[in-house]
A and B are shown apart, each in its own frame.
Chain A
Amino acid sequence: MAVEAARAALSDAAPPLDAVCFASTTAPFLDRQNAGVVAAALDLPTATHTYDMSGSQRAATSALISLMHQGQGRRTLLAAADARPTRTGSVLEMLSGDAAAAIVVGSGAIIAEIVYVASVHADLVDHYRTTTSGTDYVLEERWYRDEGVVKLTPIVAQRVLDDAGIASHDIRHFISALPNPALNAAAAKAVGVREDALADSLFFKCGHAGAAQPILLLADVMERAKPGEWILLTGLGQGCDALLLRATEAIAERRHAGVRDVIDGGRLETNYVRFLSDKGALEIDWGMRAERDSRTAQTVAFNKSRDIYGFVGGICQFCATPQFPKSRRCVNPDCAALDSQRDYRFADRSATVKSYTEDWMAFTRRPPLIYGNVSFEGGGNVFMEMCEFTSGEVGVGTPVSMKFRIKDIDEARGFHRYFWKAGPANAPGRNVGAHG
């Protein structure tokens, strides 16, 4: 999800980037840098500084504050994502949504300037999750509202308003990233912003996206904000962060399909069992045939990192044939030149289905597994898995776009691998896919 959001953000603000920050409380690995996977999928130079932020629902807003303190000289991609594990049938399961959002911070064509920031800490534990508990333990929200939201938010909000010399009713967009609309309304009232200033929390569209929520809502607001408007972004989690932003003239230039289109372009799943299966919350009997070892040869995964994560193949300098994977000899039977290939990235190229099947025997949490040969515009053929299609939707010639996805899960070792899959084609000029 983070990679997809990052690709959308970078379609507005192209590299170079100095750094990539991945903010999440549900990063897939505790000790294996997750930002590095994002950077590899974006095929960024190895000199890019990559780091993870975690620990609370404030992970992303705190990352932004740190970037603000660090100054404007560097360009950083901040990708925030959360896919919270929830207990089957819990309230949190009902309220939560998995999502990612990304922004680019730093110099260049700035669409909004972070003017002032403030922060307060308070070890108010309304919910927690330990490394071993798996899911959250959640307390009564009224206590959290009265002692947390209503008391902490105005402290930091007032500080940035005072610094800027403006009043709360000057705020045009107040972003509160709390778990439900009632809490957001309580925060808005406590800060004293105008009634129409409270930004839509997207709650009824995608639920609460954890640490990704502040950035998701900021991205949504950015699509409507007008030059000169004040935006107050808050994030709670054992304290509160506030960031005061002001939209620049450049924001008028930027109008692209974004957050709501992604959500609306998603597929509504009404089958709860299938939802549980997708989440990995359903223990599935894969059968004896699945008792194979899917250990990853890390030596190979590292050597071929650009191939697999970056989806970088080769193009022959003699016959101009694009090919994946890059090989010592050109695949064109009339060429077969030795060591003739330059790097050639397939991830952003459009493609069509050349052949396919719907396989009811292959291992997938959402049968059938659909896969086949995919022909890339400009050349190149890759035999690969497809995603986000259901039975009957794929045919020869179906247009597809590449999506970075989990490829295999090694349950015996708790490891999983990523690769690209062919999903429904993005609308022209839009490099994002639905994910919810």
Chain B
Amino acid sequence: MAEGIRDKVAIIGMGCTRFGERWDARPEDLVTEAFEEALADAGIDKDQIDAGWFGVFYDEQNVGKSAYPLSQYLRLQNIPVTRVENLCATGTEALRGAAYAVAAGACDIALAMGCEKLKDTGFAGLPERTKGTFEDLYQPGFTPPGAFAQLGATYAYKHRIDMRDLKRAMAHVSWKSHENAVSNEKAHLRRRLTVDAIMNAPMVAFPLGVFDCCGVSDGAACAIVARPEIARELVGPDFVTIKSMQLSPSNGVEMGHASWDGAHTLTTRKAAERAYAEAGISDPRSELGLTEVHDCFSITELVLMEDLGLSDEGRAPSDILDGKFDHGGEIPCQVDGGLKCFGHPIGASGLRMAYEIYLQLLGRAGKRQLKDPRLGLAHNLGGIPNRNVAAISILGLNT
């Protein structure tokens, strides 16, 4: 394995907008809002940035194609800016582009911005999209909840869990995120819910009810990254560095080969193994202070606890019900509310996760601050269990 980028890239500033139904904001407003926060945080002038990466998923829905919207919104000095897209891992891809450029020495300071303006569609839910001219001919007319609901059926079958018991653990996942979001002023959904309300919600795609599904939101988030020597000059001796960034896209095995049991996300396991190695983590359960994972649906978060090695196989439901991933638990997950309640503006989500970990590591998370976390893991799963892109970033303090 290559040496990797551990501690070669520092995050010197981050910004994140309030997520939600931002009826009055245009992408320009969201991007500017996130950027100005990051710029003030880093204490630099915008023209010190050498290059930018811009993550937008639904280009036809909101921002438009290419990277020039970013260049135009921020009036960048014609520096290189690249648009990236990798499903729900889009925001993390923007960060990876910027981090790799810094790690390679091609840039001193780089910007990663992610933005999505979903609420201009005029309807609830995500827009339908083509799967490609060939795939459209045979793939099922699935919805995101229906595609992820498959995990519930297979997980219950594999581990011989009664669906009612699995539903209770899934409900705890959503309940916990709602609890966490109450104190987060930037979160989209800040209402408390009871476990009963979650369990009895109208069915969307069995076994997922309405409250097993995350919010669809507008928002933007960004990071300014720099070489550690520069970070030291700009922000002092204590700062956050990237410990690892790993990406694992499906190669068709889940879609077409019997070796996948359908009860886990194969790519997450591959990415996690590499990410832990790159970060020098041998025991994630004791070393990780928090995680922000891709809880697009409650069942996804449940399965991911095993895929990330934080629960033993088949033990995620009981770990969840025992509060292991609650705010006061052993390895808190989604302390900011997660996709479930902070919201899911697709292109921004990966950077929003990094933002929360960044705040927690620096002790700046306010009411939801955890006690001295040293390492945090952000995880995205773009696509569906059958075919996806898993991205993992591990951030930590430089010291």
Contact = CB atoms under 8 A, between A and B. Distances in A.
A397 to B, nearest CB: 7
A408 B136 contact: yes
Nearest to B128: A292
A380 interface: yes
Interface string A347-362: 0000000111111111
Contact of B154 (A296, A301, A323, A354): A354
A355 B136 CA distance: 20
Contacts of A369: 140-141, 146
Contacts of B153: 355-357, 372, 395-396
A371 B146 contact: yes
Contact of A396 (B124, B147, B157, B208): B157
A217 B262 CA distance: 46
A295 to B, nearest CB: 9
Contacts, number: 146
A297 B123 CA distance: 27
A294 B136 CA distance: 8
A246 to B, nearest CB: 45
A203 interface: no
Nearest to A359: B146
Interface in B142-160: 142-143, 145-147, 149-154, 156-157
Interface in B55-85: none
Which one of B208, B255, B256 has the greatest number of beta carbons of chain A within 10 Å? B256
A354 B262 contact: yes
Given A287-B123, A288-B123, A381-B256, A325 B203 contact: no
A413 interface: no
The dominant DSSP class at the B interface is loop
Interface in A30-79: none
B210 to A, nearest CB: 10
B235 interface: no
Interface stretch (A94-102, A225-233, A326-334): A326-334
A380 B138 contact: no
A360 B205 contact: yes
Contacts of A360: 203-205
9 contacts: A288-B123, A300-B137, A331-B252, A331-B257, A355-B153, A362-B143, A375-B258, A395-B153, A396-B154
| Those 8 A-B pairs whose CB atoms lie nearest each other, nearest first | A359-B146, A357-B149, A297-B133, A371-B140, A355-B150, A396-B157, A359-B205, A288-B123
Given A375-B258, A395-B153, 14 more contacts: A288-B121, A300-B134, A332-B257, A333-B257, A355-B150, A355-B151, A355-B262, A357-B206, A359-B146, A362-B205, A371-B140, A373-B262, A383-B139, A407-B137
